[in-house]
Amino acid sequence: MGIEDEVAKAKSGLGGLVDKAKELATDDKIDGTAEKLKGLAPDSVDGYVDKAAEQAKRLND
């Protein structure tokens, strides 16, 4: 096996990880996690948590 084969194998493996992460990161799970974070963090960061959750959902599309 040459280096090109190893690079191709690594890329395909990473693609599989990204797909799996997208499957696990549903909008409901992102929202639930954001709500838990807002319950633990000071109220002053709620807006940032909401923005991060919205961005995560957009990136997951």
DSSP-derived secondary structure letter, 41:
S
* 31 Cβ contact partners less than 8 Å away, ≥ 6 residues apart: 53
Please state the domain extents for the chain. Answer: 25-61
Residues 20-37: pLDDT tens digits? 777 888 899 999 999 999
> Model-level pTM?
0.65
The highest-confidence range among 17-21, 31-35, 56-60, by mean pLDDT, is 31-35
